[in-house]
Amino acid sequence: MKVLMTNTLHSDTMTSGIRVIADAKYVPERSHPEESYYFFTYKIIIKNEGETPIQLLSRHWIIINAHGDRDEVQGPGVIGQHPRLEPGASFEYTSFCPLNTDWGTMEGTYRMRSVEGDEFDISIGRFYLTTTAQVYG
């Protein structure tokens, strides 16, 4: 696995010919710092840079807040979908993550299936959720 990082707020990870790019953004209008509630969105782009079609089956997120508290989220697909990506195709989605601290990290894996029926995990590189930076608009 090769991991390319341009900075800690953005991750760009390649596993088995599949690239996962993640960017995060703090959303102050949906946050309530006085109640220790910080709302973040993140954008994911999954690109099939391999030579065979693949399908996303499930996700596994590891979310760690500023105190080191760890939360794991697992489930089928992403945003209710199980995208199939032909070689050269990409899939993009946006989701959200509330935290009880003003920063934290996210990382994880997607479970994929090849056209031959083999299942394998691809990495989602660690990126930061922070109130001090805007990464995408």
Please say whether the beta carbons of 102 and 44 come within 8 A: no
Question: What global pTM score does this model have?
Answer: 0.89
C-alpha–C-alpha distance, residues 82 and 84, integer Å? 7
Q: What's the pLDDT tens digit per position in 42-61?
A: 999 999 999 999 999 999 99
Backbone CA torsion sign across 75, 78, 81, 85: negative
Would the pLDDT of 6 be above 60? no
Beta bridge mates, 26 = 40
Domains, the chain, in order of start with CATH, read: 2-130 (2.60.40.1470)
Strands (E), the chain: 2-7, 10-15, 18-26, 38-48, 54-65, 70-76, 84-85, 90-99, 103-114, 119-130
Find the mean pLDDT for residues 77-87: 97
C-alpha–C-alpha distance, residues 63 and 104, integer Å? 7
